[in-house]
Amino acid sequence: MPAYRAPRGTRDLLPTETPAWTRLERLAADLAARYGYQRIETPLFELTDVFERGIGEVTDVVEKELFRLAPRTEDGESWALRPEPTAGIVRAYVQHGMQTWPQPVKLTQTGPMFRYDRPQAGRYRQFWQFDVEAIGDPGPAVDAEIVELATRFFRDAGLADVEVSLNSIGDPACRPAYLEALIAYFQGHADALPPTERARLARNPLRLLDSKDPAMADLNAAAPRITDHLCEACAAHFAAVQAHLTALGVRFRIEPGLVRGLDYYTRTAFEFYVVGREGQQQAIGGGGRYDGLVELLGGRPTPGIGFGIGLDRVLLALAAAGIASDGGAPSPVAVVVGADPDDTTARLVIATDLRAAGIAARAELSRRKLGKQLEAAARDGAHFAVIVGDELADGEVQLRDLPAGTQKAVPLADLGREVARSHGAHHHGDGSGG
């Protein structure tokens, strides 16, 4: 047993795993850019207040799962690691006066989130989210646009069968009356409520609907549905979101129990599941509209909508579906080898010049025999071996095409150009030939 291990609920992403991550991060960045989202980076921690207000104190995320940082200053400011990105992004929107920018402001971020949750498969204390936020547009068209973007991400990532669950959770005009009906219903069944749910009833009745407690399943199935209590404006908004999704060819399932764990959501709420993995009760992404959040964090009333996709879970789903990304170290184009074991200088200088010319090169710095060096270069998948020998005194090296088994003398001054040209001729179009 090693003396130190990564903290519980966290993982090291090893070089065998990072190519799959890089692929997803690139896909996220490419899609976000194609849809007009610009990158924003906010701190990994914020004043605790930003999360308590922005997410709501009566949520698991804040109540139980917030990673609080011990205050180190006299003024005792209280910070916490971000459990999700929206509150921080909206804090930045308000702080930097983005309300005066052309609306909506479309922002994207991909990075680690932190929740002090009980670790299990697909549930980590540090996990990654691909997030987009469109702030300043009341929808409903942008709601559908954002859901479609998420489904395209899953499809392009290689997950063919992702289901969209959709709901509207109303707004301050219609939710209070619905909450009354919901509270009355649960009070009528108080005896059947598990104690934790009974305690929540007074503080956040909506939360009972997404309870993971199996004892709640039947009760929730018969509970009053928010979609039967929407005001006219919310009902029209919800209908229009659905019509837009249908026009975009996005299939969805209305899920009246979908309320999301976070307080600031209004109207549109959605989650994504991999078909066949529902049993895990683990969404691979989710999001919704948060028309009250900007004002809550000190800005003018401004509508907004966004989603967060859990990259860890996307990768688990890809692995479960047998969709692997090619791992392994990238092959160098050229390996610089030499017969004189002491002359690492010449090999390193030549490799450095090749790298400066944009060519992936490795200098053989070991003291093994030339034959072994050449074997290692071939094993690495290199296209060329640059053999440094006595001709170096005349400004020349031998350039061996390893797969072809041919070799010729090349003036050092032409080496970069020659390697790029020959490599490009074999691999035209892959852009690595310079």
Q: How far apart are CA 193 and CA 218, in angstroms?
A: 11
CA neighbor of 89 nearest in space, from 138, 129, 148: 129
Give the residue ranges of DSSP H helices in 161-194: 175-188
**Three-state secondary structure string covering 25-43:** HHHHHHHHHHCCCEECCCC
Contact residues toward ligand AMP (CB under 6 A) are: 84, 115, 117, 122-124, 127, 129, 261, 283-286, 308, 310, 312-313
Residue nearest to ligand AMP (CB): 310
Q: How far apart are CA 149 and CA 307, in angstroms?
A: 10
- C-beta closer to ligand AMP: residue 284 or 337: 284
Q: Give backbone dihedrals phi and psi of 84, rounded to 5 degrees, phi first.
A: -165, 160
- C-beta closer to ligand AMP: residue 57 or 414: 57
Q: How far apart are CA 247 and CA 417, in angstroms?
A: 52
Shortest Å, Cβ 434 to ligand AMP:
40
- C-beta closer to ligand AMP: residue 224 or 285: 285
Shortest Å, Cβ 60 to ligand AMP:
9
- C-beta closer to ligand AMP: residue 84 or 145: 84
Check the CA dihedral 278-281-287-292 and report its sign. Answer: positive
* Maximum distance among all Cα pairs of the chain, rounded to whole angstroms: 95
Q: How far apart are CA 332 and CA 48, in angstroms?
A: 47
Give the residue ranges of DSSP H helices in 251-408: 293-296, 311-320, 344-356, 370-379
- C-beta closer to ligand AMP: residue 150 or 193: 150
- C-beta closer to ligand AMP: residue 285 or 299: 285
Q: Are 314 and 286 in contact (CB under 8 A)?
A: no
Shortest Å, Cβ 313 to ligand AMP:
4
Q: How far apart are CA 108 and CA 131, in angstroms?
A: 6
Shortest Å, Cβ 215 to ligand AMP:
22
Shortest Å, Cβ 134 to ligand AMP:
17
Q: Are 93 and 99 in contact (CB under 8 A)?
A: yes
- C-beta closer to ligand AMP: residue 261 or 416: 261
Q: How far apart are CA 138 and CA 145, in angstroms?
A: 13
CA neighbor of 392 nearest in space, from 416, 409, 375: 409
**What are the CB-based long-range contacts (under 8 Å, 24+) for 73-80?**
77/47, 78/47, 78/48, 78/49, 79/45, 79/46, 79/47, 79/48, 80/45, 80/46, 80/48, 80/51
Shortest Å, Cβ 46 to ligand AMP:
16
Shortest Å, Cβ 116 to ligand AMP:
9
Q: How far apart are CA 126 and CA 45, in angstroms?
A: 13
- C-beta closer to ligand AMP: residue 129 or 268: 129
Shortest Å, Cβ 143 to ligand AMP:
16
Shortest Å, Cβ 316 to ligand AMP:
9
- C-beta closer to ligand AMP: residue 29 or 360: 29
- C-beta closer to ligand AMP: residue 311 or 334: 311
Shortest Å, Cβ 287 to ligand AMP:
7
